[in-house]
């Protein structure tokens, strides 16, 4: 083999090697098409004395990367073993993410967040005032994990996805204004990712 042929052969081998490396890199990378996560932390509490029962709930979750807080406060009058509904208040807030501290599914803390409460009836809704709401949810027991894998085809490409769902029971310590409540809760964290597995030739 003369010098020219050796050079052509060397260049050809090098190009093939580069193509193989590039192909392996693309396959190994499996570029992410979409990824994200969803969190939801819930807590419930009750305070009962001789004349009243107050039930509260707190729900914290993210929607399109915006943190949302939903709260309820239901008050009953107790008499002769019966409960009469006095008020059913609710409120929604958008706390700064810095007010929420998440330690995996072990402990979640919401610092005091102002929420305006409303009471609604057949005639409409009225504001009942603003209270600071805070919560501490402490995980108890095991974490339940479910992993879902699958694939689908769309617009000439095959997409594979992996979804992970984690939930855990919790103990809830809630404060509405100056009144403290304790009860149960739940912690949830979901993560999902979708990548392009391959596409039809152009």
pLDDT tens for residues 96-131?
Answer: 888 999 988 999 999 999 999 999 888 889 999 999
Q: Is residue 161 domain-shared with residue 120, that is, in the same domain? A: yes
Q: Is residue 176 domain-shared with residue 155, that is, in the same domain? A: yes
| Structural domain that includes position 8 | 1-29
Is residue 98 within 8 Å of 71, Cβ to Cβ? no
Output the pLDDT for position 2: 52
Q: Is residue 5 domain-shared with residue 91, that is, in the same domain? A: no
Q: Is residue 119 domain-shared with residue 141, that is, in the same domain? A: yes
Q: Is residue 12 domain-shared with residue 62, that is, in the same domain? A: no
CA distances from 20 to 119, 129, 179 (A): 67, 67, 67
Q: Is residue 170 domain-shared with residue 104, that is, in the same domain? A: yes
As to burial, measured by CB atoms within 10 angstroms (0-12 exposed, 13-18 middle, 19+ buried), residue 191 is middle
Q: Is residue 105 domain-shared with residue 40, that is, in the same domain? A: yes
Output the pLDDT for position 31: 62
Q: Which residues pair with 174 in a beta bridge?
A: 135, 181
pLDDT at 13 over 70: no
What's the structural domain count of the chain? Answer: 2
pTM over 0.85: no
| Nearest-angstrom CA–CA distance, 115 and 185 | 20
Q: Is residue 57 domain-shared with residue 90, that is, in the same domain? A: yes
| Nearest-angstrom CA–CA distance, 103 and 101 | 7
The mean pLDDT of 131-139, rounded to a whole number, is 95
| Residue closest to 96 by CA, chosen among 119, 112, 76 | 112
| Residue closest to 144 by CA, chosen among 109, 188, 101 | 188
**pLDDT more than 90, % of the chain:** 58
| Residue closest to 196 by CA, chosen among 27, 23, 37 | 27
Q: Is residue 23 domain-shared with residue 45, that is, in the same domain? A: no
Whole-number mean pLDDT of the chain? 84
Band (pLDDT 50/70/90 cuts) for residue 66 is: confident
- How would you classify residue 195: left for phi > 0, otherwise alpha for psi between -120 and 50, otherwise beta? beta
The mean pLDDT of 124-150, rounded to a whole number, is 95
Q: Is residue 185 domain-shared with residue 126, that is, in the same domain? A: yes
Pairing of strands 32-48, 179-199: antiparallel
Q: Which positions ≥6 away from 171 have C-beta within 8 Å? A: 137, 138, 140, 182, 183, 184, 185
| Nearest-angstrom CA–CA distance, 45 and 58 | 9
């Amino acid at each position: 083999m003369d010098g020219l042929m050796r050079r052509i052969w060397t260049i050809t081998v090098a190009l093939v090697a580069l193509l193989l490396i590039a192909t392996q890199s693309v396959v190994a990378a499996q570029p992410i098409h979409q990824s994200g996560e969803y969190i939801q932390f819930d807590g419930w509490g009750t305070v009962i004395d001789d004349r009243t029962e107050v039930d509260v709930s707190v729900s914290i979750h993210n929607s399109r990367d915006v943190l949302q807080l939903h709260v309820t406060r239901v008050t009953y009058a107790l008499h002769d073993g019966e409960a009469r509904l006095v008020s059913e208040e609710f409120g929604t807030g958008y706390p700064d993410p810095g007010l929420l501290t998440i330690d995996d599914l072990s402990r979640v803390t919401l610092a005091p967040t102002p929420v305006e409460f409303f009471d609604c009836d057949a005639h409409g809704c009225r504001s009942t005032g603003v209270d600071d709401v805070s919560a501490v949810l402490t995980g108890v027991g095991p974490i339940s994990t479910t992993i879902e894998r699958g694939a689908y085809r769309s617009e000439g490409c095959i997409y594979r996805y992996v979804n992970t769902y984690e939930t855990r029971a919790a103990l809830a310590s809630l404060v509405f204004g100056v009144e403290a409540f304790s009860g149960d809760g739940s912690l949830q964290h979901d993560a999902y990712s979708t990548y392009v597995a391959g596409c039809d030739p152009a």
